[in-house]
Amino acid sequence: MNAQELLNKLSILALQGHDLSKLEVTYRQDYDSDVVDIADLEEGYYDEQTNSILESIVLITNTEEL
């Protein structure tokens, strides 16, 4: 999935009358795994050649520093 596909799916939910501010964002590996809360979204990888073009975003489940 790319970021535009994610935004499109969220937009459809909003158009259907769902209040996005009240929806929790969670993650699961597959249909049989436990649900994990998503805590944040951060920039991921940048392009290899110039290191200036964002190529991915990352969903974070734990924002505590190690």
In angstroms, the CA 36 to CA 38 distance is 7
Q: Which amino acid is at 3?
A: A
In this predicted structure, what is the pLDDT of residue 66?
74
In this predicted structure, what is the pLDDT of residue 41?
95
Q: Which amino acid is at 54?
A: L
Residues 6+ apart with CB under 8 A from 59: 25, 27, 38, 40, 41
* Per-domain boundaries in the chain: 21-66
| pLDDT string in tens for the chain (66-residue length) | 999 999 999 999 999 999 999 999 999 999 999 999 999 999 999 999 999 999 999 999 999 987
DSSP label at residue 65: -
Sign, Cα dihedral of 29, 21, 5, 2: negative
